[in-house]
Structures are given as structure tokens and as C-alpha cells.
């Protein structure tokens, strides 16, 4: 499982304040802590309160990459913010994210090619988030066809079925899981899949329990990557144990430590 840490997001007050005050130490401590906890990449989002998102994104990228060298997932709804972040980034990048709207997607694919970046594409369009699995598959097929037409490798696309909170869209979660499984059959080489895991528990009590239960199920449906909180130890332990059960790493009595060592950099 490719772990993308969700913590460097202006949605968190501590991060929003650090961005506002340009307090590098707070951001750098967070970045190091996430990587030490097992993050393979860091999601970077200035948050809704940022008044100068281009400037803030570039500052975040520079601040983070001076202490860790993992790939950065540049998370913004504005292409301009993402592109300036891509120019600033030294290491590998993931664009987070495009929708399935063809015009938008073509622009994002062109930018992904130009900066040699992977691309997260959400299975939603102007009509909004799909209500069922079939619509998710239809939009995923549209995304992959567009990648192929534009000579962008389908395995550099991370399809995101959009996880909705269980307390408002309970009926959708089994469809979301099945979509994760079925996306793989839509192109060769198979696309990758990603979810924003913490979405599932927003507004609920028992957040950690809901997150880890959904993660296990998504892993069983073949999920490749997740945006999550790697400091949630119970979550990381079930992530590692699921990989073991799915035969992605070899059993030994200390399999959790062995997995962590294999990832430590
Ligand atoms: N798909 C993609 N990118 C994404 C998402 C997705 N990026 C953003 C988000 N979803 C994933 N990241 C988060 C980060 C935080 C939370 C949820 C998802 C979260 N935050 C607390 C809350 O809202 O309750 C904040 C609590 C606090 O303020 O301390 O849950 O789906 N591609």
C-alpha cells in the first residue's frame, strides 16, 4: 500500500496557522513525523483559508523538501496552484486532482506529462459525485480513454472513486469498494486506485475504527494507495497485517517491525 499522509492540510488549524505565519519548523516537524511513521508520500494542501494559494503552495513545497525527499501530492482545486507547485518540486510528484470532465482532464494530462507527474483523477464531473458503481465505472472509462488518446500511461493514473462519509451516504460504500476492484479491468496496463480514507468517518464518532475497517475492506478489493493519517498506529498496524494476509509480504513473527524496516529510509 502506498501511504500518502493527509496531515499537511490547511484544513487542520495548526497547519493553517503555520502557513499564515510561515512557520517552517511546524511544517518540517510534521513532515518528518509522517515519514517516520510510514508515509511514502505527503499530500500538500494549503486549505480553504489560504488567500494566496500559489505562494503558500510553493512555500510548503520548499519547506517540506528541505527536510524529506518523499514524493509530494499537490492537492488543490486550482491548476495554477498545482503547476507552480510542480515547478518548485525537486522530487517526484502526484497531481491531486482532476475531475473526469474532458476539457479539464486534457489540461491536467498535458501538465502531468510536462512535469513527469502521476495524476489522481476523481470519478466525478460537472453533474457531481456519482450515486452508484456503474456511473463511477463510466467516468473511470472516460478518464482512461482520455489518457490513452493523449499518450499518457494508464498506470500513472490513480482513479479515486470518491469516498463519502458513512453517516450521510451509507448505501454508497459497498459500490465504492466494488468500483475499486472493477477499475482495474478498464485498461492495460491497469490504472492505480486511491482513496481519501478519512472522508469515510467525517462527522462520525469512532473515527479510527471506521477508518481502519474501511481500509481493510478496500485493501481486499485491491486498493493501491490511500491518503490517511499514518500517526494512527492501529490503522497502520491493520494496513500492514492486511498486506500480510494478502500475501504482499512474507510472514515472520515480527512482521510489523520487518515491514517498517523494509520501508525506512
Ligand atoms: N481524494 C483525494 N484527495 C483528497 C481527498 C480525497 N484530499 C483531501 C481529503 N480528501 C483527504 N484528506 C483529509 C484530511 C483531513 C480529513 C479528511 C481528509 C479530516 N480532517 C478533520 C475533520 O474534517 O474532521 C479535521 C480535524 C481538525 O481540524 O483537527 O477528517 O477524497 N484525491
State which H helix or E strand residue 212 sits in: helix 207-220
Nearest of 135, 189, 144, 185 to residue 162 by alpha carbon: 135
Nearest residue (by CA) to ligand 1, atom 2, is 196
Number of structural domains (the chain) is 1
Q: Which residues of 59-88 are buried (b: 16+ CB within 10 A; e: fewer)?
A: bbbebbbeebebbbbbbbeeeebbbbbbeb
CATH value at residue 244: 3.20.20.20
Residue 55 phi/psi, 5° resolution? -60, -45
> In which domain, by residue range, is 180 found?
2-263
Residue 260 grid cell: 517498517
Q: Give me ligand 1 centre to Cα 235, in Å.
A: 16
Residue of 198, 206, 215 with the most ligand 1 atoms within 8 Å of its CB, for mutation: 198
Check pLDDT > 80 for residue 15.
yes
Nearest residue (by CA) to ligand 1, atom 17, is 198
Residue 203 phi/psi, 5° resolution? 80, 0
Q: Is the distance from the beta carbon of residue 227 to the nearest atom of ligand 1 less than 6 Å?
A: yes
Nearest residue (by CA) to ligand 1, atom 9, is 196
pLDDT average, residue stretch 127-150: 96
Check pLDDT > 90 for residue 92.
yes
Please give the full DSSP string across 5-46, using - where no structure is assigned. Answer: EEEEETTSHHHHHHHHHT-HHHHHHHHHHHHHTT-SEEEEE-
Per-residue pLDDT tens digits for 152-184: 999 999 999 999 999 999 999 999 999 999 999
Grid cell 510534521 — which residue? Answer: 30
Instruction: Provide the pLDDT for residue 183.
Output: 98
Ligand 1 atom showing the smallest separation from residue 122 Cα: 32
Check pLDDT > 80 for residue 265.
no
Amino acid at each position: 500500500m502506498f501511504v500518502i499522509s493527509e496531515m499537511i492540510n490547511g484544513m487542520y488549524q495548526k497547519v493553517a496557522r503555520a502557513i499564515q505565519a510561515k512557520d517552517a519548523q511546524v511544517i518540517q516537524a510534521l513532515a518528518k513525523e509522517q515519514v517516520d511513521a510510514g508515509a511514502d508520500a505527503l499530500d500538500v494542501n494549503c486549505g480553504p483559508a489560504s488567500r494566496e494559494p500559489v505562494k503558500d503552495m510553493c512555500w510548503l513545497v520548499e519547506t517540506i523538501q528541505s527536510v524529506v525527499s518523499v514524493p509530494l501530492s499537490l492537492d488543490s482545486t486550482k491548476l495554477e496552484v498545482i503547476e507552480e507547485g510542480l515547478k518548485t518540486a525537486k522530487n517526484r510528484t502526484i497531481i491531486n486532482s482532476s475531475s473526469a470532465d474532458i476539457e479539464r482532464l486534457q489540461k491536467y494530462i498535458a501538465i502531468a506529462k510536462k512535469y513527469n507527474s502521476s495524476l489522481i483523477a476523481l470519478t466525478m464531473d460537472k453533474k457531481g459525485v456519482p450515486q452508484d458503481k456503474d456511473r463511477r465505472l463510466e467516468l473511470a472509462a472516460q478518464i482512461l480513454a482520455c489518457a490513452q488518446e493523449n499518450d499518457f500511461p494508464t498506470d500513472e493514473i490513480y482513479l479515486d472513486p470518491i469516498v463519502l462519509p458513512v453517516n450521510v451516504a451509507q448505501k454508497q460504500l459497498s459500490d465504492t469498494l466494488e468500483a475499486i476492484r472493477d477499475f482495474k479491468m478498464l485498461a492495460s496496463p491497469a490504472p492505480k486506485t486511491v482513496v481519501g480514507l478519512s472522508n469515510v468517518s467525517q462527522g462520525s464518532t469512532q473515527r479510527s475504527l471506521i477508518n481502519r475497517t474501511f481500509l481493510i475492506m478496500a485493501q481486499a478489493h485491491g486498493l493501491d494507495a490511500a491518503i490517511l493519517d499514518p500517526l494512527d498506529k492501529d490503522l497502520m498496524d491493520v494496513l500492514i497485517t492486511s498486506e500480510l494476509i494478502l500475501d504482499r509480504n512474507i510472514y515472520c513473527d515480527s512482521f510489523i517491525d520487518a515491514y517498517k524496516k523494509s520501508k525506512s529510509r
